[in-house]
């Protein structure tokens, strides 16, 4: 199984409609691949909140309308913030039947007010246990951060360091939401509290954007990247149903299975895209994937081991924090970045000699987690 | 309740009685269903080791032991929220309606005439337009209901009266009101100087009657003078202090006496400033001297304009009647201005002129 083409739009506050964004990303992915759109046999569409933000459901048929006369199977996938990687996971499974599959993820979020957005995003939590009790997403991750600090001595400075690193990486990614923005530690530390102890710079932004990948059963060109591991795991939706706050069982299971499929250990990884919807989530991901032991992520951050020139660069595109988080597109953009790195096409943010990369996408507070591991061919 | 899908054993519900706070975060961003911030999200463990998430407007510490009933769950279901009746659509009535609605309370605004509340709603919308989010404005406005019928106040939990400072008019209103609203409703007056005990005599069950004196502008001024009569019950006083704190205000308890604390001190001060003006000192000099010399944010003449010269005179008359002290006799300049229709900022002219 191979990724043979990738495409994405810029992330941020964009003027295009949701359909225009999807079309742009698909067009670019097909143009980037050696195949024609007529060779695509099925499409998986990732979108989380189109029904709320753009009042559009039945989005698979919207995609069909963008590709007249194709009339192939097109199916929508929704697993909250993990929708993108879940669609890729489904696309890969479908390669048992089809030779080429296109996966497209899109979200248009900036037309709503902040209060509406906060409410919509909370829909990834349980209606009764979380939403009705005011458990918006920053509050979930705030409670996780509080526990992580209590258990392991992680500090808010460690979280700020994650934010600072990801913003620095985004400065090297022309498509990133915050590519233009020079962020200082002082700006991060002085930003307003969202849900204590998390402040504004601990949170990923509300972005528009789309990303697409073309998957193929067989190798088509030297620029292809091989998928060597793919797994999806699930867990209780609400933190109130969990025994443990500072670790996501879904990430642990999906990572262990995907690493096993790939026949590698975490230390073999050269570049990682971790789901940093909030800074604390990146630390949790490092521990759950097995990059470091529980509680040690803070030491990695303090030693800058995950910086672009560190031992294992994480979120080289800026991550959800600074590349942006157009939900349906995010998980696909992570794979876009890994493929770009493994092809050696990442320009100023290229990780030297990157051969194996991992993408980690989470829905909600770990109700869904998806891991993909890719290996470059050159 | 059903059987376990794994082992077929019977499923039984457990009941929890004691909860311990395991985590707490202060949420500072509003969302459509939870628009009153900040609020607290609590992670609780019960005696069986089960975890619960609860919203609260009360702050707790990790390790605190609490009863679940004691947590006010907030604004999600508007029907559970205390309903506030506001009587009168003048300067204070409008501001109070807006203040309570912005704090998440359903408000029933009463005016004798339809024009009264139409004008009030227009003004409130204008104040609110400073908030950029039109959705937020709609949410606040949706909480304000209006009525011309006093009987509609039958289901409010607290009613605050803001009509003209006239003892007889207020007494008549309270007489009508106390037979219409529920026996448990607390009846408050926002009077700035009238005797609470005398007003209480017109009320059925006067132990629930209390003075709740707000200051202008309500959103910025943190003081509430809580004025109790000889009939006011301890429960009513405690409820009011607690409620004022929940609103983010600072209550100060005052026994019923003309002018309470603030106006009894303020009115002679304003009156003296007016006498200075009559002696030929310019209004700018008087106000600048007080601002610079006493570090007041505004001078007494500008403040009198803001309060309304007619309101000042009415308070001074009440004080004079109560204390029989010549200090409280309004300086003639008040009558000169009032007779020309210059009542202060609200009419565009008082001691100063204002752009309307």
pLDDT digits (tens, 9 = 90+) for A190-202: 999 999 999 999 9
Q: How many CB atoms lie within 10 A of CB B86?
A: 32
Shortest CB distance from A193 goes to which of B28, B31, B73? B28
CB contact, 8 Å: B136 with chain A? yes
Q: For residues A83 and A62, give the distance between their C-alpha atoms in angstroms, rounded to a whole number.
A: 17
CB contact, 8 Å: A128 with chain B? no
Whether residue A112 has a cis bond before it, omega within 30° of 0: no
Q: Give the residues across from B159 on adjacent strands.
A: B85, B187
Give the range among A122-126, A222-226, B33-37 with minimum mean pLDDT.
B33-37
CB contact, 8 Å: A149 with chain B? no
Please give the full DSSP string across B196-232, using - where no structure is assigned. HHHHHTTSSSGGGEEEEE--SSTTT--EEEEEE-SS-
Q: Enter the tokens of residue A184.
A: 């200082």
Give me the residue label for tokens 């899109």: A106
Give B150 or A337, the one with higher predicted confidence.
Answer: A337
Which residues of B are tagged catalytic?
192, 213, 225, 263
Burial zone of A256 (CB within 10 Å; 0-12 exposed, 13-18 middle, 19+ buried): middle
The pLDDT of residue B71 is 53
Q: What is the sign of the dihedral through the CA atoms of A329, A330, A334 and A337?
A: positive
Q: For residues B12 and A229, give the distance between their C-alpha atoms in angstroms, rounded to a whole number.
A: 41
Could you tell me which of B286, B253, B255, B254 has the C-alpha nearest to residue B271? Answer: B286
Give the range among A300-304, A343-347, B308-312 with minimum mean pLDDT.
B308-312
Q: How many CB atoms lie within 10 A of CB B246?
A: 13
* Cβ contact, residue pair A135, B32, below 8 Å: no
Say if residue A300's pLDDT is above 90.
yes
Question: Within 13 Å and on the Cβ side, how many CA atoms surround A133?
Answer: 25
Helical H runs in chain B? 91-102, 114-128, 134-142, 167-180, 196-200, 234-246, 262-278, 283-294, 300-307, 309-323, 332-339
CB pairs under 8 A between A and B: 98
The pLDDT of residue B18 is 80
- Give the tens place of pLDDT for each residue, A99-110: 999 999 999 999
CB contact, 8 Å: A146 with chain B? yes
Could you tell me which of B100, B106, B105, B144 has the C-alpha nearest to residue B122? Answer: B144
The pLDDT of residue A21 is 97
Question: Within 13 Å and on the Cβ side, how many CA atoms surround B261?
Answer: 16
* Cβ contact, residue pair B41, A193, below 8 Å: no
Q: For residues B345 and B352, give the distance between their C-alpha atoms in angstroms, rounded to a whole number.
A: 8
Query: What residues in A contact B29, CB-CB < 8 Å?
Result: 114, 118, 136, 138, 194-195
Angstroms from B107 CA to nearest CA on chain A = 22
* Shortest CA distance from A125: residue in chain B: B53
ipTM associated with this complex: 0.92
**Percent of chain A clearing pLDDT 90 (strictly above):** 98
Contact criterion met (CB below 8 Å) for A209 and A21:
yes
Tens of each residue's pLDDT in chain B, 356 residues:
688 888 888 887 777 778 899 999 999 999 988 988 889 999 999 888 888 999 988 888 998 888 765 554 433 333 346 889 999 998 899 999 999 998 878 999 999 888 888 899 999 998 888 765 777 788 889 889 999 998 898 889 999 999 988 889 999 999 998 888 888 899 999 998 788 999 999 998 899 999 999 998 898 898 999 999 999 999 999 999 988 988 888 999 999 988 899 999 999 999 999 999 999 999 999 999 999 999 999 999 999 999 899 999 999 998 998 899 988 999 999 999 999 999 999 899 999 999 86
Q: Which of A131, A139, A159 to mutate to test the interface with B (most CBs of B within 10 A)?
A: A139
Strands (E) in chain A, as ranges, are: 2-8, 42-46, 74-77, 100-107, 193-195, 198-199, 209-216, 225-234, 271-273, 356-363, 368-376
* Cβ contact, residue pair A113, B133, below 8 Å: yes
Angstroms from A330 CA to nearest CA on chain B = 23
Query: What residues in B contact A135, CB-CB < 8 Å?
Result: 41, 53, 55
The pLDDT of residue A72 is 97
Q: For residues A55 and A49, give the distance between their C-alpha atoms in angstroms, rounded to a whole number.
A: 9
Angstroms from B67 CA to nearest CA on chain A = 16
Element (H, E) at A162: helix A156-170
Length of chain A in terms of residues written: 378
Give B127 or A41, the one with higher predicted confidence.
Answer: A41
Q: For residues A286 and A360, give the distance between their C-alpha atoms in angstroms, rounded to a whole number.
A: 10
Q: Which of B24, B26, B34 to mutate to test the interface with A (most CBs of A within 10 A)?
A: B34
Give the range among A164-173, A313-322, A327-336, B47-56 with minimum mean pLDDT.
B47-56
* Cβ contact, residue pair B23, A147, below 8 Å: yes
Average pLDDT over residues A280-290: 98
CB contact, 8 Å: B33 with chain A? yes
* Cβ contact, residue pair B53, A135, below 8 Å: yes
Residue A167 annotated as catalytic? no
Query: What residues in B contact A191, CB-CB < 8 Å?
Result: none
* Shortest CA distance from B31: residue in chain A: A115
Query: What residues in B contact A110, CB-CB < 8 Å?
Result: none
Confidence class of residue A178 from pLDDT cuts 50, 70 and 90?
very high
CB contact, 8 Å: A122 with chain B? yes
Interface of B with A in 62-91 (CB under 8 A): 73-74, 76
CB contact, 8 Å: B31 with chain A? yes
Q: Which of B22, B25, B73, B134 to mutate to test the interface with A (most CBs of A within 10 A)?
A: B25
* Cβ contact, residue pair B136, A113, below 8 Å: yes
Contact criterion met (CB below 8 Å) for B291 and B297:
yes
* Cβ contact, residue pair A138, B27, below 8 Å: yes
Give the range among A78-92, A346-360, B28-42 with minimum mean pLDDT.
B28-42
Q: For residues B322 and B194, give the distance between their C-alpha atoms in angstroms, rounded to a whole number.
A: 9
């Amino acid at each position: 199984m191979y990724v043979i083409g990738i495409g994405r739009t810029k992330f941020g506050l964009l003027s295009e409609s949701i359909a225009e964004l999807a079309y742009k990303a698909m067009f670019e992915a097909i143009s980037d691949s050696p195949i024609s759109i007529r060779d695509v046999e099925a499409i998986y569409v990732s979108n989380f909140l189109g029904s709320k933000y753009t009042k559009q459901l039945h989005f698979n048929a919207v995609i069909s309308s963008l590709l007249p006369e194709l009339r192939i199977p097109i199916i929508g996938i929704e697993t909250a913030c993990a929708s993108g990687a879940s669609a890729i996971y489904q696309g890969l499974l479908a390669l048992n039947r089809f030779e080429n599959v296109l996966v497209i993820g899109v979200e248009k979020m900036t037309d709503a007010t902040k209060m509406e957005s906060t409410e919509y995003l909370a829909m990834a939590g349980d209606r009764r246990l979380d939403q009705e009790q005011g458990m918006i997403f920053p509050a979930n991750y705030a409670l996780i951060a509080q526990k992580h600090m209590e258990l392991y001595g992680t500090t808010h400075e460690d979280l700020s360091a994650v934010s600072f690193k990801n913003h620095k990486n985004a400065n090297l990614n022309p498509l990133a939401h915050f590519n233009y923005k020079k962020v200082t530690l002082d700006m991060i530390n002085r930003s307003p509290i969202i849900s204590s102890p998390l402040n504004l710079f601990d949170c990923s932004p509300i972005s528009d954007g789309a990303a697409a990948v073309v998957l193929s059963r067989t190798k088509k060109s030297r620029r292809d990247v091989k998928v060597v591991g793919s797994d999806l795991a699930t867990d209780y939706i609400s933190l109130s149903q969990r025994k443990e706050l500072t670790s996501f069982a879904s990430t642990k299971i999906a990572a262990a299975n995907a690493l096993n499929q790939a026949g590698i250990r975490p230390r073999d990884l050269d570049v990682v895209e971790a789901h940093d919807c909030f800074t604390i989530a990146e630390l949790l991901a490092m521990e759950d994937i097995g990059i470091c032991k529980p509680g040690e992520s803070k030491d990695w951050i303090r030693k800058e081991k995950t910086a672009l020139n560190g031992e294992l660069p994480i979120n080289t595109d800026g991550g959800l924090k600074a590349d942006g988080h157009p939900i349906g597109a995010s998980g696909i953009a992570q794979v876009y970045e890994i493929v770009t790195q493994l092809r050696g096409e990442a320009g100023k943010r290229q990780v030297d000699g990157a051969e194996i990369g991992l993408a980690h996408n989470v829905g909600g507070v770990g109700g869904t987690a998806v891991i993909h591991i890719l290996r470059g061919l050159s | 309740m059903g059987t376990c899908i794994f082992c077929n054993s019977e499923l039984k519900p457990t009941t929890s009685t004691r909860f311990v706070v395991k985590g707490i975060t202060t949420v500072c961003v509003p969302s459509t269903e939870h628009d009153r911030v900040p609020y607290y999200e609590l992670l609780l463990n019960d005696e069986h080791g089960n975890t619960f998430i609860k919203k609260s407007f009360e702050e707790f510490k990790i390790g605190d032991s609490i009863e679940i009933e004691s947590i006010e769950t907030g604004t999600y279901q508007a029907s559970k929220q205390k309903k506030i009746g506001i009587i009168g659509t003048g300067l204070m009535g409008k501001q109070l309606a807006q203040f309570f609605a912005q704090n998440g309370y359903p408000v029933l605004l009463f005016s004798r005439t339809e024009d009264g509340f139409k004008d009030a709603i227009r003004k409130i919308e204008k104040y609110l337009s400073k908030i950029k989010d039109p959705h937020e404005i709609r949410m606040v406005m949706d909480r304000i209901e209006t009525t011309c019928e006093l009987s509609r106040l039958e289901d409010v939990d607290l009613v605050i009266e803001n009509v003209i400072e006239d003892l007889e008019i207020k007494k008549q209103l309270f007489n009508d009101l106390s037979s219409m609203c529920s026996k448990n409703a607390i009846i408050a007056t926002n009077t700035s100087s009238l005797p609470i005990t005398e007003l209480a005599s017109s009320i059925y069950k006067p132990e629930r009657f209390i003075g709740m004196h707000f200051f202008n502008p309500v959103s910025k001024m943190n003081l509430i003078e809580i004025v109790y009569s000889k009939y006011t019950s301890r429960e009513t006083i405690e409820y009011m202090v607690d409620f004022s704190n929940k609103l983010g205000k600072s209550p100060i308890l005052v026994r019923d006496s003309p002018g309470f604390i603030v106006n009894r001190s303020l009115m002679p001060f304003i009156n003296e400033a007016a006498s200075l003006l009559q002696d030929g000192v310019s209004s700018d000099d008087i106000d600048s001297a007080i601002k610079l010399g006493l570090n007041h944010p505004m001078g007494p003449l500008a403040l009198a304009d803001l309060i309304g010269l007619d309101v000042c005179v009415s308070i001074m008359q009440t004080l004079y009647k109560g204390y029989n002290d010549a200090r409280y006799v309004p300086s003639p300049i008040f009558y000169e201005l009032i007779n020309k229709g210059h009542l202060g900022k609200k009419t565009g002219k008082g001691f100063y002129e204002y752009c309307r």
